[in-house]
Structure 1
């Protein structure tokens, strides 16, 4: 009896730790908006490319022994590695562009709400995971909560734009087209985030060490980002390191959310499905909102607080003890 109980309890504890690791990663990612607030006129693309690029290469460096130990497996899965790396490259470019075009609230909501849906669809198409009723309930609560927070932020911090005729006179897209483009990019960001999460989990299921899987994906993507967009943005937007504050933000983004956060996320993916991991990252806007209130000084109306409560219920459902794996 004791042995049987231990065999049952160990996977449950492992799954619980995996869920907590993903929540920890989402907590770190939720600090990026507040950190970027202290940047002085720095392009969000420059910050994102530098953070994801250098953070990815640091992951590869730390995972070097694991990558070498799994080199044969990685070479056998080179198509998965390249596909996952492409998704990692696309994700920050689409995400930051979405926020720039559609606004921070809409861009973040579209991306975060799309990710768990995309992960579930991809797992149904390319895997054998069955989604539970609790997953569907928590997804509905989580998306409703994020949308409420976005509606609250949009109402409280409306964006002032130039009239359509003035934009047309300058030869620029209208505000409606920019927002539509931002929404499309947000969907792309959510899908690519779900895709590389699923690819990393698939590599782990095939015997690749978690650090080797994440390190290989983010290492290849990091080289591409720094060699391509990262360097070009540094030349065209040198303000990334123009002040001590900007430099501190850039280094923080690299070392904490992108490096430490993705190490925790990779650990969590070892024991839980990608669809559950992406759902747990709904914790990110909750953290971002709380930091915006306590540090930046923003205001959240009752609708926003209700949305935060729904997200909290969603997360409780997902991390409760003995919650069945997706």
Structure 2
């Protein structure tokens, strides 16, 4: 196999998206280390403001996207990126990581993936649900679930917007940088309104650095790279790998134990994602 083919496999399609999932899988654990005085939405907003700005400032071709791309799509992308951050973190705070992650990440592939790959998508969603909820200790808060649905719909929307703009010829990095840069502008007033006093603590700064640099800047560079040759429907289904990463890290790093149902769900999810990646 030539070096060009190998490079294409590692820089296009499923692998970069799975790399982004690995980074996203650390979000719940890291955000829980923020100071107790930090509102959940403020933690997500701070990570997006800094990470979105980094994506925009380092994106070559962002000016071309701003000038030539459909402004309505750019606005929709920016608003839904902001909506995801402002809805997902409060959802986690209200209903827990397990339920919020399952609902948010399952909503997007259900919306986008059922038409193109119904069997694989439904199998992946079922495996994800069994993995995360298999312990039977989930706490369901209706407002939290509603916020998680909003986050999932937001994720589906901006994934579709970015995939479309990349598909019509705009550079992936420029598209992601423009959309996330716009989202940081929309989110900054919300962050200031919620308060930033908690950032005076060292743990607050460390959490924001992790969320902005790794789970926003680096992860979405990988995600945009993967969208070059992966549909939005397939990409959102692949991101169901995120709960698996979070679960395994909990077992390896924190010594947590997973019930048999969760391990079975992880196996089902792995099979579905492998089929999709092919």
RMSD: 2.4
Please tell me whether residue 272 in structure 1 is matched to residue 265 in structure 2: no
**1:51 maps to which residue?**
47
Change over 3 Å in CA distance of 1:70–1:102 after alignment to 2 = closer
Which whole-Å deviations, capped at 9, do the CAs of 1:84-110 have from their partners, x for residues lacking one? 111111111121222222222111111
8 A Cα contact 2:132 2:262, kept in partner: yes
**2:109 maps to which residue?**
116
Q: Which has the larger radius of gyration?
A: 1
Deviation of residue 229 (structure 1)? 1.4
**2:211 maps to which residue?**
253
Mapping of 1:1-326 within 5 angstroms?
A: 13=8, 17-41=12-36, 42-63=38-59, 65-74=60-69, 77-120=70-113, 131=116, 135-155=117-137, 159=139, 179-226=141-188, 228-235=189-196, 238-242=197-201, 244-320=202-278
Deviation of residue 32 (structure 1)? 1.1
Which whole-Å deviations, capped at 9, do the CAs of 1:208-241 have from their partners, x for residues lacking one? 2111211111001111112x11122334xx2234
Deviation of residue 192 (structure 1)? 1.0
Measured in 1, the distance between the counterparts of 2:39 and 2:46 equals 11
Deviation of residue 185 (structure 1)? 1.8
8 A Cα contact 2:250 2:256, kept in partner: yes
Taking structure 1 as the reference length, the TM-score comes to 0.78
8 A Cα contact 1:46 1:230, kept in partner: yes
**1:168 maps to which residue?**
none
Measured in 2, the distance between the counterparts of 1:186 and 1:71 equals 30
Q: How many residues align?
A: 275
8 A Cα contact 1:94 1:185, kept in partner: yes
8 A Cα contact 1:106 1:150, kept in partner: yes
Gaps of 5+ in 2: none
**1:172 maps to which residue?**
none
Measured in 2, the distance between the counterparts of 1:265 and 1:283 equals 13
Measured in 1, the distance between the counterparts of 2:248 and 2:153 equals 26
Gaps of 5+ in 1: 1-5, 125-130, 160-175, 321-326
Deviation of residue 308 (structure 1)? 1.2
Deviation of residue 72 (structure 1)? 3.2
Q: Secondary structure at the match of 2:265?
A: helix
